[in-house]
Structure 1
Amino acid sequence: MDERRRRSPSLVLLLATGCVLALRGLRHAPPGAYIAVFGATGLTGREAVYQALQRGLEVRVLARNPSKLLSPLGSAGTEADQLMSDPKLTVIQGDVTKLEDVEEVLKSGVTGVVVALGGKTADVGETMLTDGTSNIIAAMKRIDAKRVAVVTSIGAGDSENQAPFFFKVLMYTMMNKIFKDKNNQEALFLNGIGSELEYTIVRPGGLTVEAPTGVINVIDGEAGSIARGDVADFCLGAILEPDFAYIRKTPCISSVGGTGWIKDRSAKSRMGA
C-alpha cells in the first residue's frame, strides 16, 4: 500500500445535540456517492469532510499534514478538534500543487469535488490556489468527473460591490495578493480550462466557526456572515443534488445580515417542511 495513504479504522466522532438539530435536515447521500475534498484540513474543508461522512459518503482527501484533519469546531460541538477517523475516509498525504498527488486522490469513481483551498500567502505561495485548482481540473477531466464546488470569497471576481467597505480596504491592501490568486482561480472556470465542468463558485460572506444554522441564503446585495458549516452544506449540495440551482454560477451566500436576499437554501425548505 502507498505509504502516503492512511485508511481510517472507525468513526469515533459524535455530533453534539445542538449540531444534530442544525444538520438534521441534510439529505442522505445518493447510493455509492464518492467525493473528494481539497483543503480538507482548513476550517471550511473540515466541515465538508465531517458532514460528508455523516451523510454516509465515501470521502477521499489530500493533506500536507494529515494530523491536522480534525473534527470541526462548528458541527462537532464538544467532540471538536479530534482526529477524524472513519472506514469511508481515505487520507492521502501530498501537495495540491503536485499533479501526481492530486491524481492519487481523484481516482475513477469520484463524482464530485469540493475545493476549499486557503492559507496565508506567506505560507502557501502567491499562486497556490490557481496552480492547485488547475491540477484538480486536469485530474477531474482524466476520470470524467463533472461536479465541483469551489469556495472563494465575497469580493472575488465581479462581487466586489457585495463586500462591506472595511473588507474592500483589506482586499486592496493586506489581502491584495490572495485576491489576485482567487480571481485567477475563478477565471479557470469562468473562461478557462474548467469552463465545461459543472462548477459552482461559492462566495461566502464573513465566515464564522459557530454551529451551522441550516439557513443558507443566496444574496445579491452586501454580504452578511455565515457559519463555515453552512458553507460546507451548500458545497455538498452543489456536487450531490442533480437539480442544484447554481451550476455554472457564482452565488454569494450569507446566513445573518446582508441585503438583497434572493432564495432560502435552508435544509428545512429543501426538505419541503
Structure 2
Amino acid sequence: MASNKDTVQQYLDRLKKEVTEADQELVNALAQEASKKSALEKKSRWADVLRDLLATITETNRLGMIYLGTLERTRKYNEKSGKNARLCIDAIKILICEAKKLLDCTEVLKGQIKVLTDRIDNKIPDKGANSIMANLNALKTATEDALTAIKDAIKALLATYHEEEDLWGLLAGEKGLLFQVVGSYKLMTDGKKPDLEDCASCHPQKTPLFPMDDEACDFYTKTKHQYESTLDELKDLQKEVEVVSCKREFAQARKTALDKAYAAALAAKACETAPAAKK
C-alpha cells in the first residue's frame, strides 16, 4: 500500500521491488519443493527396493527352512540306514565266520569218510546198494556237494559283504552322503562346510545364513533396520514436502497479489496522466 508521503512513482518503484523479491521467493520455493519431492521420490524408490528385498529374503528363508527340514530328515534317515548297513555287515561277518567253521568241519568229515572208506574197502565183500560202502560213497558225494554249496555260500556272503561295505561307505563313510548332508546343513546355518576349513581360494566365512529372519543374521537385520529407517525418513520427507509446498503456495499467492497490485497501480497512473496530457 502507498503511504501518504509516497509519490505515485515511489509507490510503483517500491511495488516493483516487492514484485521482484516475490519472483525470487517463488523461484526459491519452487526449487526447494522440487528438491524435496525429488528426494522423496528417490527415497520412496529405495524403500520399494528394500521392501522387495525383504520379501525376497522372507521367501528365500521359507524355502531354505523347508530345505533344512529336508536335510535334517535325510540326515536322520541316513544315520539309521548307515547303522542298519553296519549291522548287516557285522551279521554277514558272523555268517562268513560260521560258514568257514562249517567248511572246516565238512572238510574234516570228508577226510574221515575217505579214511574210513580206504580201511574197509577191501575187507567187506558185499558192495550192494545197501552195503556200508554204498552208504559211505553216498555220504562222500553228499559231503562233496555240501562243500561246494558252503563254498558258494561263502562266495555269495563275501560278495554281499563287499556290497554292504560299499553301501555303508556311500551312506555313512568319510565322504559319504551323511557327511555331505551334514556339511550342507552346516553350510546353510554356519556359512561353511567341514571340508572347506582350509580352502584358500574361497575363504569361507562363518556367518549365519539360515534362518535368515533371525537377529543373528547380519544381512537380514541390517536390511530390516535400513528399511525401517527409510520408512521413518520417508515420513519426515513427506512432512518437509508439505511444508515447502505450503511455502511455495504462499509465495505463488503473494506474487500473484503483487503482480495484480502492480498492474493496477500502472493502470491507475495511466488514468491520472491521461487527462493531464489532454490539457
TM-score, length of structure 1 as denominator length? 0.16
Structure number with greater Rg is 2
Structure (1 or 2) with the greater strand fraction: 1
TM-score, length of structure 2 as denominator length? 0.16
